[in-house]
Amino acid sequence: MNHPKISKDTPAWIIQVWASFILSLIAMAVGIYHLPVEPWISGYLGVTFLFSIGSCFTLAKTIRDNHESDKLINRVTEAKAEKVLREFEAEAA
C-alpha cells in the first residue's frame, strides 16, 4: 500500500512565520498604546485586537482539521476500495 508523504515546513520558514507574527503583535500593541485618544478607546482597540488574534487561530485550526479529516476519509475510502478489488481478484482466480 502506498502511503502519502507528509510534507513538513523547514525550520527557516517556521522561524520566519513566528518572527513576523510576534513583530506584528508588537507593532500593533505599540501603535494602539501611542494613539492620541482616550484610554477607553485604546482599551477597546486592544480587546478587539486580541479577539482578532484568537479568531485567526480558531479559523486556521478549523481549516487544518477539515483538511486532515478529508485526507483521512480519502485514505479509508481507498483502503476499502483496495479490499474490494483484492476480494474480487481472489474470487476471479
Residue showing cell 474480487: 88
Residue pair 57/25 in contact by the 8 Å Cβ criterion? no
**Taking the model in full, what pTM does it have?**
0.63
Which pLDDT tens digit goes with each residue over 11-69? Answer: 999 999 999 999 999 999 999 999 999 999 999 999 999 999 999 999 999 998 888 88
The alpha carbons of the chain give a radius of gyration, in whole angstroms, of 24
Contacts 24+ apart (CB under 8 A), 66-75: 71/4, 75/4
| Residue 75, H or E segment | helix 39-92
Q: Where are the domains of the chain?
A: 11-92
Q: What spatial distance separates the first Cα and last Cα of the chain, rounded to whole Å?
A: 21
**Cell numbers for 73:** 476519509
